[in-house]
Amino acid sequence: MARTLMILNGPNLNLLGTREPEIYGHETLADIEAMCAKTAREHGLTIDFRQSNHEGELIDWVQEARNGFAAIIINPAAYTHTSIALHDALKAVSIPVIEVHISDPKSREAFRHVSYVEPAAARSIAGKGAAGYAEAVAVAAKLI
């Protein structure tokens, strides 16, 4: 059985730590990766942690996850609110999908209130800061 979680991060998340810290906190993406790896280890899992600023690359990775991966955890960042293509790609996988956001988009600007990813996800975690990623790993461990 596959024991690796694919953890995908969308545009601008490479800037975490310096990007709007009052909204996204001071943890870097590397800090979040280390936290995910630790939580995964505690559940006997490993992670493959990636970030891209490009919609098509994220879609390629979702398609790749169909073989050999146990679940997908994804923070699609702004593509959450725009990408029907990402929605379609996530609907095409049979492994669990968990959506995660550092902030709570539904309590921010109106243009963040729609998530095209949520209907394709088994669980959505938002507004818990970087800790939401660790929770997503624990949820994935339960679902697989």
Span of 39-47, 61-69, 77-85, 134-142 interacting with ligand DQA by CB under 6 A: 77-85
Q: What minimum distance in Å lies between the beta carbon of 68 and ligand DQA?
A: 26
Burial of 12 (0-12, 13-18, 19+ CB in 10 A): middle
Q: Which is nearer to ligand DQA, 34 or 41 (CB)?
A: 34
Footprint (CB under 6 A) of ligand DQA, residues 81-120:
101-103, 105, 112
Contact between 51 and ligand DQA by CB under 6 A: the answer reads no
Q: Which residues pair with 46 in a beta bridge?
A: 4
Length of the chain: 144
Q: What minimum distance in Å lies between the beta carbon of 128 and ligand DQA?
A: 10
Q: What minimum distance in Å lies between the beta carbon of 21 and ligand DQA?
A: 13
Q: What minimum distance in Å lies between the beta carbon of 29 and ligand DQA?
A: 11
Q: How many residues bind ligand DQA (CB under 6 A)?
A: 10
Sign of the CA dihedral 94, 95, 96, 98? negative
Contact between 78 and ligand DQA by CB under 6 A: the answer reads yes
Distances (CA, A) of 20 to 75, 131, 143, 144: 17, 17, 33, 34
Report residue 121 as tokens: 């996800």
Q: What angle do CA 50, 53, 55 make, to 5 degrees?
A: 95
**What is the set of active-site residues?**
24, 101
Q: Residues in the site for ligand DQA, rule: CB under 6 A? A: 12, 75, 77-78, 80, 101-103, 105, 112
